């Protein structure tokens, strides 16, 4: 993996420790990570940076992960951006909703960094 | 008078009539016949006398001429033997008697002394003179000329006697004929008269003996017709009897049935009672004698207006049926409601002559109606009341339901939030534990330490969260043991503040105490109030970056007021109402950075409310917040209050 072709991954979660654990996994895989602490920042940074993949927590202040996802999918420019939704509620309704708003995949907290690693590789290196 | 004398029976009338008729006709006939016959007898007697006289005259002419008077006497004696001759005289033309014979009482002719003179008629014509049953015949004796007279006295008594005998015989004959004729007529008339009499008797008995038959005599058309007609009438009467009996029976049945139910009276056209049935008597209490001839005023209750009765009279006197309900009064003053129908009965000219009133006693019904009305009214009231109650209950239930729904929603939200809140620290713990497990050899010691400290920090957070949850659950379900004791709040607040002095100092914040009393006693669980103060002070510390936090204590009325006032972030107006709810944290990345279980203020609220105090927050975004709670004084504290307030 060369610096020029480094994939950019936007990590959005209001919990600092969770952001840090995801950043560790992302950087361990050699991707570049960008952090956002709430929904609004997540949307703004997504628009500004056009990341290759976005990890979106649902329960964020300002704008929920679902809202951000839906809004991004509403813009054709983001049609090909991969989106993984993280939900701490773990209910079927949330998973269905993740698919409905256009997420490519979702993970339930507490998630395994190994699974995340696998998912990221699968989605970005195929 | 005459009618009374006449016999009543037809056959006797016929007999009388015929008898009278014949009785009148037959004597006339007899008299007439007798008269005619007696005339004839007299005439023949006269003719006989004249013939005798002429004969004597003819025979005696010679005697006179010859003066043979003895022959004359002999002639006269012979002639006197003729029946009826009373006396025979022969005289010369001058009236000297030549011979004179009379018939004595024994019927023997007797020669009388002859030298006497008699008056002779002037003219020589035969003459008849009749007086007192004696015919005197003067017959001239004629030769060459008139020479003398024959004077014959002839008794008509015998002729009269014969005539009388005739009359008598005719009378007898007439009587016998009359009797025979009457008998004959009666004989002939006997059968038809008997049939007539029988028919009359039958007709007379028809009123009692309907349906019986009379034998029909076919010998006379009229009598046959009469018999047939009578039989038909009898049969018709019999049939009519049956019909009438049946109708009467039905009518009686109906009447007796009606009398059982209805109060019936009949009045004349002026309203005077002419009939009242037993029910009328029973219901009104008046005897029939008291009622008859009276007007219905006798049972008037006074309930109805004069117009009411006037309208009734207008209706029935116009020949129309009247219906209505009337309240009457019995003799004993009982009120009787009757449902009344009055039917006018009209004569041929259409004028009412009688009114029949039929009534049904509806007193009980009326009472029931009134009761029902009353009940219906109270029922309506009850219903209204019930409706009000139901409305009230419904609104209460709706409210309760709303609250329940809200609670349910709160509960499921709570569970969802708890799940989220528990997963959050667990996620960090699991992530870094796995990372350490997989990459331990690659990681430098600082990273290892950092990750382990995160795990530790999040574990503690998880522990606190669980403790707070348990606390809250205990308080909500009333399972907390409240070890209340009399506590001096001044001391307690000083102690709580002291625990946070270092932490505040570390963040560069000032923690002040403004306590306007030397001591203030309340009855509380010290640990809980310490927990309450720790929550408020740690919140103030978390959300305040610079400035100061002031703990205040004042007494107001019968309660103390404790406040924690910071110069921190402040709370948006729309969030203020919710800050005391579980897991409610003002949504912002900043508060998330600050952390906390989101249960602290909910626990504070439970503690304050347990002591019947109040807790609220006054805040302005960017300027700071002031959390205030109140607690009631303990009873023994009253003396100190005055100095404090």
The two three-digit tokens of residue B33, written as one number = 């016949």
Inter-chain touch B420–A114, beta carbons under 8 Å:
no
Instruction: Identify which of B572, B545, B561 has the alpha carbon closest to the alpha carbon of residue B616.
Output: B561
Inter-chain touch A18–B429, beta carbons under 8 Å:
no
Which residues fall within 8 angstroms of residue B141, CB to CB, at 6 or more apart? B57, B60, B61, B64, B90, B147, B148, B149, B150
- Burial level of B421, CB count in 10 A (0-12/13-18/19+)? buried
User: What 3-state class would DSSP assign to B155?
Assistant: strand
With 60 as the cut, is the pLDDT of residue B453 above it?
yes
Nearest chain B residue to A58 by CA distance is B420
Inter-chain touch A114–B439, beta carbons under 8 Å:
no
CA–CA distance, A103 with A86 (Å, rounded to integer): 10
Which residues fall within 8 angstroms of residue B63, CB to CB, at 6 or more apart? B69, B71, B72, B75, B90, B98
Nearest chain A residue to B447 by CA distance is A24
Rounded average pLDDT over B489-510: 90
Inter-chain touch B434–A59, beta carbons under 8 Å:
no
Query: Of the candidates B431, B438, B591, which has its C-beta nearest A21's C-beta?
Result: B431
**pLDDT-based confidence at A47, cuts 50/70/90?**
very high
Inter-chain touch A21–B429, beta carbons under 8 Å:
no
CA–CA distance, B625 with B540 (Å, rounded to integer): 8
Chain A residues within an 8 Å CB radius of B592: 14-15, 37-38, 61
Chain B residues within an 8 Å CB radius of A62: 587-589
Residues of B with CB under 8 A from a CB of A: 416, 419-420, 423-424, 426-432, 434-435, 438-439, 454, 457-458, 587-589, 591-593
Rounded (5°) CA angle B556-B560-B562: 115
Which residues fall within 8 angstroms of residue B23, CB to CB, at 6 or more apart? B178
Rounded average pLDDT over B403-424: 80
Backbone angles phi, psi at B352, to 5 degrees: -65, 140
Contact assessment for residue B599 and residue B468, using Cβ atoms and an 8 Å cutoff: yes
- The sign of the torsion formed by the CA atoms of A34, A36, A39, A44 equals negative
- Model confidence over B204-258: pLDDT tens digits? 887 777 777 878 777 778 778 888 888 888 888 888 888 888 888 998 888 888 8
Percent of chain B at pLDDT > 90 equals: 20
Q: What is the DSSP string of B375-386?
A: HHHHHHHHHHHH
User: What 3-state class would DSSP assign to B556?
Assistant: strand
Query: Of the candidates A60, A61, A110, which has its C-beta nearest B426's C-beta?
Result: A110
- Please state whether the peptide bond connecting residue A110 to the residue before it is cis, i.e. omega within 30 degrees of 0: yes
ipTM confidence score: 0.91
- Model confidence over B511-569: pLDDT tens digits? 999 988 888 889 999 989 998 999 899 889 888 888 899 999 998 888 899 999 999 88
Contact assessment for residue B610 and residue B594, using Cβ atoms and an 8 Å cutoff: no
Which residues fall within 8 angstroms of residue B446, CB to CB, at 6 or more apart? none
Nearest chain B residue to A20 by CA distance is B428
CA–CA distance, A9 with B639 (Å, rounded to integer): 69
Inter-chain touch B592–A89, beta carbons under 8 Å:
no
**pLDDT-based confidence at B316, cuts 50/70/90?**
very high
Residue of A16, A21, A68 to mutate for B, most B C-beta atoms under 10 A: A21
Query: Of the candidates A62, A91, A109, which has its C-beta nearest B427's C-beta?
Result: A109
**pLDDT-based confidence at B2, cuts 50/70/90?**
low
Inter-chain touch A17–B458, beta carbons under 8 Å:
yes
Chain B residues within an 8 Å CB radius of A15: 424, 427-428, 592
Instruction: Identify which of B426, B429, B499 has the alpha carbon closest to the alpha carbon of residue B466.
Output: B426
Query: Of the candidates B423, B428, B589, which has its C-beta nearest A21's C-beta?
Result: B428
Inter-chain touch A21–B423, beta carbons under 8 Å:
no
- Model confidence over A1-23: pLDDT tens digits? 444 578 999 999 988 999 999 99
The two three-digit tokens of residue B24, written as one number = 């009148």
* Shortest Cα distance, chain A CAs vs residue B418, angstroms: 9
CA atoms within 13 A on the CB side of A119: 23
Nearest chain A residue to B458 by CA distance is A17
Nearest chain A residue to B457 by CA distance is A17
């Amino acid at each position: 993996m060369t610096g020029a072709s480094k994939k950019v991954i936007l990590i959005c979660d209001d919990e600092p420790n969770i952001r840090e654990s995801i950043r560790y996994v992302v950087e361990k895989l050699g991707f570049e990570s960008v952090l956002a602490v709430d929904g609004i920042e997540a949307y703004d940074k997504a628009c500004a940076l056009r990341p290759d993949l976005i990890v979106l927590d649902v329960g964020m202040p300002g704008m929920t992960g679902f809202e951000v996802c839906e809004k991004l999918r509403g813009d054709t420019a983001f049609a090909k951006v991969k989106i993984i939704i993280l939900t701490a509620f773990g209910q079927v309704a949330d998973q269905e909703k993740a698919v409905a708003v256009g997420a490519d995949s979702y993970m339930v907290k507490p998630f395994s960094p190994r699974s995340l690693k696998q998912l990221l590789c699968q989605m970005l290196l195929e | 008078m005459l009618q009374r004398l006449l016999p009543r029976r037809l056959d006797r009338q016929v007999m009388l009539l015929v008898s009278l008729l014949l009785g009148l006709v037959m004597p006339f006939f007899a008299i007439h016949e007798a008269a005619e016959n007696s005339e004839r007898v007299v005439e023949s007697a006269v003719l006989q006398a004249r013939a005798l006289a002429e004969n004597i005259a003819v025979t005696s002419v010679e005697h006179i001429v010859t003066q043979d008077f003895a022959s004359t006497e002999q002639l006269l004696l012979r002639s006197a033997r003729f029946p009826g001759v009373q006396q025979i005289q022969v005289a010369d033309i001058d009236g000297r008697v030549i011979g004179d014979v009379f018939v004595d009482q024994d019927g023997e002719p007797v020669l009388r002394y002859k030298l006497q003179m008699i008056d002779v008629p002037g003219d020589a014509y035969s003459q008849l003179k009749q007086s007192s049953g004696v015919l005197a015949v003067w017959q001239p004796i004629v030769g060459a000329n008139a020479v003398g007279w024959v004077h014959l006295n002839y008794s008509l008594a015998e002729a009269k006697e014969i005539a009388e005998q005739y009359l008598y015989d005719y009378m007898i004959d007439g009587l016998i004929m009359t009797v025979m004729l009457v008998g004959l007529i009666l004989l002939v008339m006997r059968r038809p008269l008997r049939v007539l009499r029988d028919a009359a008797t039958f007709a007379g008995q028809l009123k009692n003996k309907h349906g019986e038959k009379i034998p029909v005599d076919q010998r006379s058309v009229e009598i046959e017709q009469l018999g047939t007609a009578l039989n038909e009438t009898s049969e018709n009467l019999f049939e009519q009897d049956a019909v009438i009996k049946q109708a009467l029976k039905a009518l009686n049945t109906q009447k007796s049935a009606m009398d059982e139910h209805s109060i019936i009276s009949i009045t004349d056209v002026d309203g005077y009672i002419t009939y009242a049935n037993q029910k009328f008597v029973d219901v009104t209490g008046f005897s029939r004698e008291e009622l008859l001839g009276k007007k219905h005023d006798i049972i008037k209750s006074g309930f109805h207006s004069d117009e009411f009765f006037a309208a009734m009279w207008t209706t029935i006197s116009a020949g129309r049926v009247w219906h209505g309900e009337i309240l009457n009064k019995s003799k004993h003053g009982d009120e009787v409601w009757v449902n009344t129908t009055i039917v006018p009965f009209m004569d041929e000219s259409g004028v009412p002559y009688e009114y029949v009133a039929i009534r049904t006693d509806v007193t009980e019904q009326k009472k029931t109606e009134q009761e029902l009305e009353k009940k219906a009214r109270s029922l309506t009231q009850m219903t209204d009341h019930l409706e009000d109650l139901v409305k009230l209950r419904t609104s209460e239930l709706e409210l309760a339901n709303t609250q329940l729904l809200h609670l349910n929603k709160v509960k499921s939200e709570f569970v969802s939030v708890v799940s989220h809140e528990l997963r959050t620290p667990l996620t960090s713990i699991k992530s870094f534990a796995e990372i350490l497990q997989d990459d331990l050899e690659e990681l430098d010691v600082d990273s290892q330490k950092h990750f382990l400290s995160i795990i530790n920090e999040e574990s503690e957070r998880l522990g606190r969260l669980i403790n707070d949850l348990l606390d809250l659950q205990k308080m909500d379900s009333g399972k907390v043991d409240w070890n209340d004791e009399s506590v001096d709040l001044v001391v307690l607040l000083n102690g709580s503040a002291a625990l946070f002095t270092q932490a505040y100092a570390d963040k560069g914040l000032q923690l002040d105490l403004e306590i306007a009393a030397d001591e203030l006693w309340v009855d509380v669980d010290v640990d809980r109030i310490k927990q309450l103060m720790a929550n408020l002070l740690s919140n103030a510390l978390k959300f305040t970056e610079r400035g100061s936090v002031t703990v205040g204590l004042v007494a107001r009325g019968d309660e103390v007021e404790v406040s924690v006032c910071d110069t921190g972030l402040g709370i948006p107006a729309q969030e203020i109402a919710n800050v005391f709810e579980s897991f409610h944290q003002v949504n912002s990345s900043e508060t998330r950075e600050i952390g906390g279980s989101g249960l602290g203020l909910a626990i504070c609220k439970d503690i304050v409310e347990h002591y019947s105090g109040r807790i609220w927050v006054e805040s302005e975004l960017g300027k700071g917040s002031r959390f205030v709670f109140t607690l009631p004084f303990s009873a023994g504290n009253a003396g100190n209050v005055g100095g404090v307030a």
